[in-house]
Chain A
């Protein structure tokens, strides 16, 4: 065989953009993500003026002020806990620090509605904690002694902060680890005492990271529906839910949703602003972590105790309580068929949604890779919109679309076939799948893109020069090289789908329950039967992404 150049036909074709399929698909996905917001605006505009003034006078002021207080309280508390813990494990070294570093992430595994549910039960006047205290103090009846009730704003702020502080802890610790070294050392040589380093150097440096974490925690707070409901806080989310579900006032609910989107826009701008500053500071110096100060004996123990407090309160206590309740229930009644069905529902729904989210994420990320221009980046932004949107708001938008579609399909079917299809889209769970897709697409786009960004552009180019088309290059180069990123995205999305409550409540088909809606229903009714088992299952699965996060954190 010879390597002499055999001239061959070169097929020539009219000019066209290669990989056009990807770009068109990406645009379609972005449009789908934008649609719920447009539907909300359209629906809100249909509301009568009378209704709006009723809302403005009676519902909104209270809901807004409650939400504002909740956000402010959670914001301050997560910032304080998150930053303190981050500094504790980077500036000091003590027995147990290594474990604490990742254990501090564990509360992320507990969704807000589960922490509220667990504490309500734990701190119930005849629950384990109060009974134990009475036994110690020698009181006989709850009438003689009871702890202050947690079913109020303060309780909500504390409980939410206990599980949301890791959003601040994670980026702030990364910032301390990668940024502070040189500056801390320089400041020491310039005469800053150890005690002052935190206030004068570390804290100002970490401010962007803290802001990023805070805005994420606050988005979660806005998204929460269960905890606020259980603890009696009439937040905006609750108002949207009741305005629609109990008063059937769709335009009204849409109007409150728009008010909420404004809040989200504020939070997102806070986050973007903070990230810009963060990027600036990252480029400012080489990263190196600084030598932590060794604490031994009593000081070390005290540090460990301080660090363990949020872990115990935010994860260990509620998880142990749920485990023991679940065990009691299991011994008493075994696994009920309902619960098994619901677990299967949850799994099938989450798994298929995850698949869809990964596929769409791949399309959006690869289209942006093929055409790294402003228009594609804009599409990508739009496709990621849903992540910031509270589940209830998103669900309402999708409800408007699906209900409209269902009505149209039903009418057409009746006219053409003489058959009523009923609520096809909502009834089949397609609407719920759409909601998961919209809400979690950002996660998969983000991690797949991060995976792609580690693949040099010359690989694309080389694959093309060696005869692969755009799609072929994706299959043969990008996909194998970003398998890890895909798997990570899949895990995150799956767990988030499983935990999801606010959209699931609104969009699930009739008589279709998942673990989270089951728990919500029982807690709302005040019956505590299988809920502990459902909650435990959700928390256990929720630990998986935390383990993954902890491993990533260690590699840094």
Chain B
């Protein structure tokens, strides 16, 4: 029996190279039970490869993978993908075109006796709301329906873990949010442990209980949505999760000194070293009674929900960008005063070399 204390999935120092190209370096992650973990990163960061390693269609160069405390990949040990009880959902859904929806759902249930198999298919189809599609073939399904069938097919064998590779990226904008909400609801209701790969930070923030941000084959940061967004541990992370204004300044006495103010940080730097402040656009607001930093409006872009405003501040070479949810009556060229919310300013050591 699996060890009840061990996490359903644990990656231990996974590395993977294809030829000379090192795709993954020293990845260690624990996936908590019944939660959704998002692997987030730019394309080519190795997140899909990591998913393939977990499912067992690819093998790591070194490192080990444990499921519920039991080793499934590692030195001298390898459990075949079909014996891992890990479900996989593909970006293109990979529904078998020669099989009906019902037969697609049955595909992974061959070991069950016939009546149990039918009961399982009916049950999962009802839960996911595709009972009316069972007789259809994949080509006759809309994108959203295909997505749901793919989800049902992956869940039908009751996998211990469900892996999803960009499961919503083939849907158009409006549909995507609805399907995403439905999918997350289903997973939560079933208590499924899931790992979802995405390149979209908004999606990761919306869906993930735990986010693993990856960069060039390494883990940049692991944490909850709030951790990652509010307490990024690198400038890369801060900028990946949303737009930032970058300001270089000097570190002194536990604060970074920039032309537009001093911001507290938690850095282990000698006084006088260069440091970097990342300021979220929504951390900047326009002061009401002529107080704050003097700035001039360079441009305004109305986005509907908010307005994006570029302002120039002496002596900064680059304009600052801010987002305002209130209407700003000032016109381009007018002078304004800026207020800064220090809690949304992230301070980092200046990276030695930027890539």
Q: Which residues of A contact B (CB under 8 A)?
A: 1, 3-16, 18, 456, 458-469, 472, 476-477, 480-481
Contact = CB atoms under 8 A, between A and B. Distances in A.
B108 A469 contact: no
Nearest to A483: B98
B182 interface: no
B63 to A, nearest CB: 14
B82 A3 contact: no
B136 to A, nearest CB: 18
Contacts of A480: 98
B119 A1 contact: yes
Contact of A12 (B77, B96, B120, B124): B77
Interface string B182-204: 00000000111100000000000
Contacts of B81: 461, 464-465
Interface string B97-138: 110000000011011000010011001100100000000000
Contacts of B91: 458
Given A5-B158, A456-B94, A461-B88, A469 B80 contact: yes
A458 B94 contact: yes
A194 to B, nearest CB: 43
B78 A465 contact: no
Interface string B74-87: 00111111111111
B96 A459 contact: yes
Contacts of B94: 456, 458-459, 461-462
Nearest to A469: B82
A3 B2 contact: no
Contact of B127 (A3, A9, A464, A467): A3
B233 to A, nearest CB: 33
Given A16-B78, A466-B153, A477 B120 contact: no
B190 A10 contact: no
A460 B56 CA distance: 12
Contacts of B80: 13, 18, 464, 469
Max chain A C-beta neighbours (<10 A), residue from B56, B83, B190:
B83
25 contacts: A3-B127, A5-B160, A7-B2, A7-B68, A10-B84, A11-B83, A12-B70, A13-B78, A15-B77, A18-B80, A458-B92, A458-B94, A461-B52, A461-B94, A462-B88, A462-B153, A464-B81, A464-B82, A465-B86, A465-B88, A466-B107, A468-B82, A469-B80, A469-B82, A481-B98
A481 B95 CA distance: 12
A9 B68 CA distance: 10
Contact of B79 (A12, A458, A469): A12
B132 to A, nearest CB: 20
B67 interface: yes
A451 to B, nearest CB: 13
Contacts of B123: 1, 3
Given A1-B120, A465-B88, 10 more contacts: A3-B158, A5-B192, A9-B1, A12-B78, A458-B90, A461-B88, A462-B153, A466-B153, A472-B82, A480-B98
A481 B97 contact: yes
B146 interface: no
Interface size class of B (residues with CB under 8 A): 35 or more
B55 interface: yes
Contacts of A18: 80
Nearest to B190: A3
B297 to A, nearest CB: 46
A465 B87 contact: yes
Nearest to B186: A3
B330 interface: no
Contacts of B155: 3
Contact of A466 (B67, B71, B78, B108): B108
B154 interface: yes
A466 B153 CA distance: 8
Contacts of B110: 467
Contacts of A16: 78
Given A5-B158, A466-B157, A481-B98, A14 B79 contact: no
A456 B127 CA distance: 28
B72 interface: yes
A14 B80 CA distance: 10
Contacts of A1: 116, 119-120, 123
A3 B124 contact: yes
Nearest to B93: A458
Given A466-B107, A480-B98, A461 B78 contact: no
Given A3-B155, A459-B96, A466-B153, A14 B107 contact: no
A1 B111 CA distance: 17
B79 A10 contact: yes
Contacts of A465: 55, 57, 81-82, 86-88, 108, 154, 163
B107 A463 contact: yes
A58 B185 CA distance: 86
Given A10-B83, A10-B85, A467 B57 contact: no
Max chain A C-beta neighbours (<10 A), residue from B2, B76, B94:
B94
A463 to B, nearest CB: 7
A1 B88 CA distance: 23
A497 to B, nearest CB: 29
A9 B120 CA distance: 20
B57 A464 contact: yes
Contacts of B52: 461
Which 5 residue pairs are nearest across A and B when measured between Cβ atoms?
A466-B108, A458-B94, A465-B88, A464-B81, A15-B78
A291 B17 CA distance: 51
Contacts of A6: 158
Contacts of A467: 82-83, 108, 110-111, 157
A3 B188 CA distance: 12
Given A15-B77, A15-B78, A461 B119 contact: no
Max chain B C-beta neighbours (<10 A), residue from A3, A459, A468:
A3
A13 B68 CA distance: 17
A252 to B, nearest CB: 48
A466 B99 CA distance: 14
Contacts of B56: 464
A481 B83 CA distance: 24
A19 to B, nearest CB: 10
A223 to B, nearest CB: 38
Contacts of A476: 107
Contacts of B107: 463, 466, 468, 476
B72 to A, nearest CB: 6
A7 B72 CA distance: 15
A469 B79 CA distance: 12
Nearest to B80: A18
A296 to B, nearest CB: 42
A15 B56 CA distance: 12
